[in-house]
Amino acid sequence: MGSRIAEFYERAGRTLCLGQEGREGSVTAIGAVSPPGGDLSEPVSQNTLRVVKVFWGLDSSLAYRRHFPAINWLLSYSLYNERLDEYFRREIGEDWVELRGRAMRILQKEAELEEIVRLVGVDTLSFRDQLTMEVARSLREDYLHQNAFHETDTFTSLNKQLALLKIVLTFEDVGAALLEKGIEIQKVLDLPIRERIAQAKFLPENRTEDFTKLQADLEGLKTDAELPGEVL
């Protein structure tokens, strides 16, 4: 079975075409494996994972919660990350790789904290952990979630993705700074600017000044000596 699956995927690649000189072509193979009961340990799934270097794990629980695309961020992976890091730094932004890694750590931390929340409730968490849970929720709903039927949200360029990711993670920095100043967690979570963060993904691609303004306003909350009236 392993050799048959490998024969299928080895058709993908980049090649020089016959006929007109200098023509190049490429074939991308995307396989879909649907194991019974979602059991990824069965032979077809395991042999496929041995061959492919990118895996998108669709999650029925995300689909039931109407989170689309329903790709499980903890189950999915790519072995091309390190090879593409230099491209992302050069073409998108120097901090892309760092921000992506930081976002993944927050989502992983959320998965660990969810077990505690289910057992004893979110109020038993420290203020810092409650902030982490809220930032993870923002990553899921304001960044990863997309509406295929929305004129703007149906497509997001890498540049806009970077701007959105910076905004969400800057809110974590702001929240941590305010907590250190003795502000209660609920007041941090009730900041009016959070509504602007939630709506940022619906801004058109060419409205770069709006992303810049939102980022600057967030930075201002973190660095201003006087806290905004809404927080106090």
Tens digits of per-residue pLDDT, 119-150?
999 999 999 999 999 999 999 999 999 999 99
In whole angstroms, how far apart are CA 113 and each of 63, 117, 133, 178, 185? 22, 6, 8, 22, 17
The type of residue at 81 is: N
CATH number at residue 207: 1.10.1140.10
Is there a single domain that holds both residue 174 and residue 216? yes
Residue 219 lies in a domain: yes
- Rounded Cα distance between 135 and 221, Å, is 16
Tens digits of residue pLDDT in 160-207: 999 999 999 999 999 999 999 999 999 999 999 999 999 999 999 999
Is there a single domain that holds both residue 76 and residue 124? no
Mean pLDDT of the chain: 91
- The CA-based angle 152-153-156, given to 5 degrees, is 95
* pTM score, whole prediction: 0.87
Among the candidates 54, 80, 106, a domain finishes at: 80
Is there a single domain that holds both residue 73 and residue 92? no
Among the candidates 80, 115, 131, a domain finishes at: 80
Residue 232 lies in a domain: no
Domain with 35, as residue range(s), is: 2-80
Is there a single domain that holds both residue 187 and residue 123? yes
Among the candidates 24, 54, 80, a domain finishes at: 80
Instruction: Output the pLDDT for position 227.
Output: 52
- Rounded Cα distance between 231 and 155, Å, is 34
- Rounded Cα distance between 207 and 71, Å, is 28
How does residue 19 score in pLDDT terms, banded at 50, 70 and 90? confident
How many domains, in total, are found in the chain? 2
Instruction: Output the pLDDT for position 1.
Output: 86
How does residue 20 score in pLDDT terms, banded at 50, 70 and 90? confident
The residues, ordered by sequence, that sit 6+ positions from 122 with a Cβ below 8 Å of its Cβ are: 130, 133
